[in-house]
């Protein structure tokens, strides 16, 4: 592949993008030509700054072509156009071949939950000390074990154990918490989400990990559970307070994540009519809150 780079003023970006697309560019990206200099411009507004701009005063455009001949043809045709006035070609260069799959995979290593519990992508061997693993690759749904909220929920599961319990994972994403619950002994697991892609992701990930659970939309949840897990965000967690608490069996546990440390008091206030939330874990500015009902 070959990359053609161009410099153009703000008012030519759209025209050049359309032209490059018509000339069979595989992709076109735009960046601030003055980035990392005193002339760098913030594209999006910040407090005390002027309103957001539509583009940079000077843009560097990078167009990727499948062959050198296509890139050369594009360069020749563009420079002959009237709209190319005030624009210029910066260069044309081959793009080194990359094993993009291997490059992507190299960014995801096994994730330690506890010294004996790990999240391991399928292309890695489990660490020698792992006694319990979840096989999970990056996908469309949230939850690969790399985010502090996910790790704290899984740590709670590992430390408490869920032997024989009925468990609900509300807002299941990739299904990682539901799978963790099943791995740590839960006898009956429901994993629900408003996103059908997450439901399907959970089904596939459960199969890959050899665990049995039910996954569906939120109306699939029924009755009460000994443990209810919800790793979402503070605002929906506040709205869902009556619903989630109603799903917890007497003496059961409610486990909430997706909460910043500064949001602890507002969550406690929202749940006060139903349960007494306490902070059970902290990591990188996030907290895990739990209650026994």
Residues belonging to the binding site for S-adenosyl-L-methionine are 150, 171, 193, 231
Partner residues linked to 8 by β-bridges: 59
| Separation CA 77–CA 19 (nearest Å) | 10
Helices (H), 23-112: 68-79, 100-105
Cβ 78 vs Cβ 16: under 8 Å: yes
Q: Is 249 left (phi over 0), alpha (psi -120 to 50) or beta?
A: beta
Cβ 62 vs Cβ 17: under 8 Å: no
Residue ranges of the annotated binding site are 150, 171, 193, 231
Helix, strand or coil for residue 185? Answer: coil
Read out DSSP for 278-290?
EEEEEETTEEEEE
Q: Is the dihedral of CA 287, 193, 195, 236 positive or negative?
A: negative
What number of CA atoms fall less than 13 Å from residue 254's CA on the CB side? Answer: 27
| Separation CA 120–CA 127 (nearest Å) | 9
Residue recorded with tokens 């992508």:
121
Residue recorded with tokens 């003055």:
34
Bridge-based pairing of strands 188-192 and 214-216 is parallel
Cβ 258 vs Cβ 227: under 8 Å: no
DSSP class of residue 171? S
Instruction: Calculate the CA dihedral of residues 240, 201, 212, 106 and round it to 10 degrees.
Output: -110
Cβ 57 vs Cβ 4: under 8 Å: no
């Amino acid at each position: 592949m070959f990359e053609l780079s161009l410099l153009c003023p703000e008012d030519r970006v759209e025209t050049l993008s359309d032209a490059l697309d018509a000339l069979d560019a595989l992709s076109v990206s735009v960046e601030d030509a003055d980035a990392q200099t005193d002339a760098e411009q913030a594209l999006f507004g910040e407090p005390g700054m002027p309103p957001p701009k539509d583009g940079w005063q000077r843009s560097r455009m990078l167009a990727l072509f499948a062959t050198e001949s296509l890139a050369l043809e594009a360069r020749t045709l563009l420079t002959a156009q009237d709209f190319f006035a005030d624009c210029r070609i910066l260069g044309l260069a081959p793009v080194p071949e990359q094993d993009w799959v291997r490059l992507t995979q190299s960014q995801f290593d096994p994730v330690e939950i506890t010294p004996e519990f790990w999240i391991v992508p399928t292309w890695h061997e489990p660490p020698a000390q792992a006694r319990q693993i979840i096989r999970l690759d990056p996908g469309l749904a949230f939850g690969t074990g790399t985010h502090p909220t996910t790790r704290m929920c899984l740590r709670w599961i590992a430390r408490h154990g869920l032997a024989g319990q009925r468990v609900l994972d509300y807002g299941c994403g990739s299904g990682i918490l539901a799978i963790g619950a099943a791995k740590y002994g839960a006898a009956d697991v429901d994993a629900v989400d408003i996103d059908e892609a997450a439901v399907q992701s959970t089904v596939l990930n459960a199969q890959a990990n050899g665990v049995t659970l039910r996954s569906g939309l939120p109306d699939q949840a029924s009755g009460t559970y000994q443990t209810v897990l919800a790793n979402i965000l503070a605002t929906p967690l506040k709205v869902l307070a009556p619903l989630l608490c109603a799903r917890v069996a007497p003496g059961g546990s409610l486990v909430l994540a997706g909460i910043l440390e500064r949001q602890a008091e507002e969550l406690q206030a929202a749940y006060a009519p139903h349960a007494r939330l306490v902070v059970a874990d902290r990591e990188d500015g996030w907290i895990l809150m739990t209650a026994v009902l």
